[in-house]
Amino acid sequence: MDNLKVLCSKLIKLRVDHIVTRSAKFTVKYRPPHWYAPKVNVVKDDDLTQDNMQFIKEVISDRNDSQQELESPLVQSISHTSQQWLPTTRRVGLIARKIGNYPVWSNNGKKMQTTLLQVVDNHVIKYIPPEEFKPMLTTERNWREKRKLGCMLVGSETINPSTVTKDYCGLFNSVGMLPKRHLRRFMVSPEAALPTGTPLFATHFRVGDYIDIRAKTIDRGFQGVMKRWGFKGMPASHGVTKTHRRPGNIGSGGEKARVWPGTKMPGHMGNRWRIIRGVKILRVNTKYNVLWTLGVAIPGETGAMCYLFDTVLPLRKLKSSPPFPTYFPSDDLPVEYYDECVHPFSDPTLTFEET
């Protein structure tokens, strides 16, 4: 009886009309990078006995503990002192979560809005040197010239291995790490390479430095032209009917009797990758690994993940050597430190001198 049921369910899933036909000129448009693997796994507990469940839990907690005790590989290797930072080198970035905004005051009494970014449990997963790194060719660009930047995979937030697929887990298992919720690649110079398992902290950046932040903007869905492009709309009265928020004319007649590509029209707004460049860091908390960045224009809503790296803006680039290749853990740092333009809340009240 049971077997019959299974058979029935299998038969229902079979669809005759689902046949893929390939044309003669079939080309692969996009293939994900080789380190990409599908992630989400649906756990089925039905077949597990109580003992086995217990055992799996134990194993996971053991591995978690061992992960916690992992020492930074920088302690053994001396590589972090041998290499020199140059203005052309590219360091690794961080994965952070946007956790909200609040104001801080500057030394001249002005209020500045800041965005808080928490660097959550970041570890280097893998480094692929430039010779071995061969990403999928997505554009027509010729990559024959020598590749100069290597690929560094950084993960953030350790998760339960049973919730992800075997493929995804295998990526981490091969280097002896637990799977992470967020995996991200950063292009780095070969001299900035880091060994697997190196923890990255908020102190990777210094106060007063400028960073670029890449994140997905807030998803606003299908929006009209007024919200999406800031059009003016049309008058509310004076005989206007049914076209108060519409775009109006979208093209002219004559020879070009069509809509030009790129015309601003209604459509899906938000949920796009955007980079905000040249954001200043005002304050760093070393205990919770939080960065305070100037301004509220960091894309994404509260709780969204964003990727931080050194800015590429020519006038705001790093002038002196930052912690290179990354911050080396030491105990002499204070819990919080501030940029010189910020007034710490623990300082006495601001007063202005008579001139």
CB 140 within 8 A of CB 160: no
- Per DSSP, what are the bridge partners of residue 280? 210
For the beta carbon of residue 217, count every other beta carbon within 10 angstroms.
16
Chain positions contacting other proteins, by CB under 8 A: 99-100, 102-105, 108-109, 111, 116, 118, 285, 288, 290, 301-303, 343-354
| Token output for 60 | 């996971």
Distance CA 323, CA 192 (A): 11
The residue (of 131 and 347) whose beta carbon lies closer to other proteins is 347
The residue (of 116 and 305) whose beta carbon lies closer to other proteins is 116
The residue (of 30 and 345) whose beta carbon lies closer to other proteins is 345
CB 308 within 8 A of CB 117: yes
Q: Give the type of residue at 350.
A: L
The residue (of 56 and 99) whose beta carbon lies closer to other proteins is 99
- CA torsion angle 162 166 171 176 (round to 10): 50
Distance CA 182, CA 155 (A): 5
CB 106 within 8 A of CB 344: no
The residue (of 59 and 240) whose beta carbon lies closer to other proteins is 240
Q: How far is the CB of 27 from other proteins (least distance, A)?
A: 43
Q: How far is the CB of 282 from other proteins (least distance, A)?
A: 13
Q: How far is the CB of 316 from other proteins (least distance, A)?
A: 26
Give the CB-side neighbour count of residue 353, counting CA atoms within 13 A.
Answer: 2
CB 349 within 8 A of CB 107: no
Q: How far is the CB of 245 from other proteins (least distance, A)?
A: 15
Distance CA 162, CA 86 (A): 43
Q: How far is the CB of 118 from other proteins (least distance, A)?
A: 6
Q: How far is the CB of 88 from other proteins (least distance, A)?
A: 36
The residue (of 82 and 346) whose beta carbon lies closer to other proteins is 346
Distance CA 208, CA 283 (A): 8
Distance CA 355, CA 349 (A): 19
The residue (of 107 and 162) whose beta carbon lies closer to other proteins is 107
- CA nearest to 216, candidates 297, 306, 278, 279: 306
The residue (of 47 and 354) whose beta carbon lies closer to other proteins is 354
Q: How far is the CB of 24 from other proteins (least distance, A)?
A: 51
Q: How far is the CB of 237 from other proteins (least distance, A)?
A: 8
**How many DSSP H helices and E strands does the chain contain?**
5, 13
